[in-house]
Amino acid sequence: MDLPLHTKFMIRTLYMVDVLVLVPEYLGPSAMVTNAFEYIKSLSKGSPFNFTLVQYPEDDPRFDIDYHRAFQGHGVMPFQQLVNGIADREDEDLMNYEGRENQDPYDYIDSQQTLEARVHLAQRFLEEDAAEEWYEMNRPDYSFDARRTLGILLNPYSHEQGWVSGPVQEAANLALLPVHFSSENQAYTHLLLAAEMLVAPLRFLLGRLDKKTCSHEMSCGCINDHVHSEEDLSSRFEYGTLCPSCTEGVQQLTPTLDIEHYFETGMRILREKQADIAKVSSARTPLYMELQTKMLCLSFPQIAVRIPLSAKECALYQYILEHPNGLTKDAVSSARTSLSESFERLSHADEAPSKSEVHDVIDAWNYSNDLRITVGKINANFRKVEHLPGMKNWMITRVGDSFRIQAKS
């Protein structure tokens, strides 16, 4: 049931910027995006910034872009703009990438027209549609406020003019954040995303003073430097402070809050995590892991990554973790008591199964191929982050008929 208007207003006034991280539905679940969001969510606790992860119902631009709706709020769309938009779609269908040099013709690349249309559609979603999605967002208090609402559109596609990240001039309440990275930065992807999410509300606040100078075009060693390339994004970790002009602007907007401390502390923590990953990459010792049964996940605090598991997967992983010889299908019957104890440790989790469900699961492991299937699902969660240092050692491997974990806690 929807909340009363006065209750919504009271909740909204608790934060300065309501940040909706828009994940296009066609992008699908991404461990890097989820971990970046969870990390920035934890960093923002106690701050005046509220972050919400939103499944954004955007059509995949490789197949369709609603140019009419994108520009209809601006009066009659110029004929040439419509023609350019249609031509872009025809070029993609025909794989005619003339002028795009050596790009793979099967890869979609945003042109200026397609990106502008996508930006306008995302702005419209924030203004007109997001409030209707409150249930999926778990945000019954949400309503659009031009001075408080910021959407961060995660863009899985590159742009023909190069890197595009940061505030968008054409949409007052939108920022772009690419989620495609070179192999050199794969180990730090979640931290790079978290760093951009961190500074997004800063730029939004400064944009109230002057939209054109909400970030520095020329680098001045500030965490608010504009990102022109992936190298710029990586170098942001070298900057530990806000420049005097950004500090002055933030203090002008928030005279009673120490907002600059929040940004500087957040960037320092991310920088330390990057250093931790570098150490793990060069070290030969196994990566430390915590099995969090209440949260139903595996946590790797050294590299700020979590891997979610179902209750069944969590119980099985815990059993295999505690039994170095692993588990075979033939041994499930004799291990029933120990497996049941693993499930009992999940009793305080939200998705804890009942006793009858536990026996059904164990029977399925014993009499069908469900043990192999469950192991496969656990490893499927790892494959989203298996490129991270030390992560493969914690995947379940098969040695003969036994499923085991290579790493030692």
- The 10s digit of each residue's pLDDT in 251-266 is 888 877 788 888 888 8
Query: Is the per-residue pLDDT at 114 higher than 90?
Result: no
**DSSP alpha helix (H) spans, 53-110:** 67-71, 79-94
The residue behind tokens 């070290």 is 283
Q: Which structure tokens are listed for 229?
A: 């390339």
Of 372 and 233, the structure prediction assigns the larger pLDDT to 372
- 73: pLDDT confidence band, cut at 50, 70 and 90? low
φ/ψ (deg, to 5) at 213:
-120, 30
So what's the pLDDT on residue 14? 57
The DSSP output letter for 177 is E
pLDDT at 321: 92
Residue-range domains of the chain with CATH: 5-278 (3.40.390.10), 290-405 (no CATH)
Collapsing DSSP to helix, strand or coil, 146 comes out as coil
Q: What is the DSSP letter of 409?
A: -
Task: Report pLDDT for 63.
Answer: 84
Higher pLDDT among residues 179 and 349, named by residue: 179
- The pLDDT of residue 246 is above 80: yes
**Which residue from 323, 367, 324, 364 is spatially nearest to 341, judged by alpha carbons?**
323
> Highest-confidence range of 8-12, 245-249, 280-284, by mean pLDDT?
245-249
In whole angstroms, what is the distance from residue 267 CA to residue 222 CA? 11
**Comparison of pLDDT for 165 and 288, the residue scoring more:** 288
Instruction: Answer whether residue 334 shows pLDDT above 90.
Output: yes
Is pLDDT above 60 for 1? no
Pair of tokens at residue 162 = 């190069």
Query: What per-residue confidence (pLDDT) applies to 212?
Result: 60
CA distance 278 to 290: 20
Please, which pLDDT band fits residue 74 given cuts at 50, 70 and 90?
A: low
With a cut of 60, say whether residue 44 has pLDDT above it.
yes
27 vs 153, residue with greater confidence: 153
Q: Averaged over 326-340, what is the pLDDT? A: 94
**CA 325/CA 314 separation, integer angstroms:** 18
How many other C-beta atoms can be found within 10 angstroms of the C-beta atom of residue 409?
11
Checking if the pLDDT of 11 tops 50, the result is no
Q: Distance between CA 399 and CA 392 in Å, rounded?
A: 15
Check: CB of residue 205 under 8 Å from CB of residue 17: yes
CA torsion, ordered 274, 278, 283, 288, to nearest 10 deg: 20
pLDDT of 173 reads 93
Residue with tokens 């605090």: 301
CA dist., res. 18 & res. 204, Å (int): 11
Of all residues in the chain, what percent carry a pLDDT higher than 90? 33
pLDDT for 331 equals 94
Which of 154-168, 181-195, 217-231 bottoms out in mean pLDDT, i.e. has the lowest?
A: 217-231
Cα separation values, 390 from 14, 145, 285, Å:
41, 44, 8
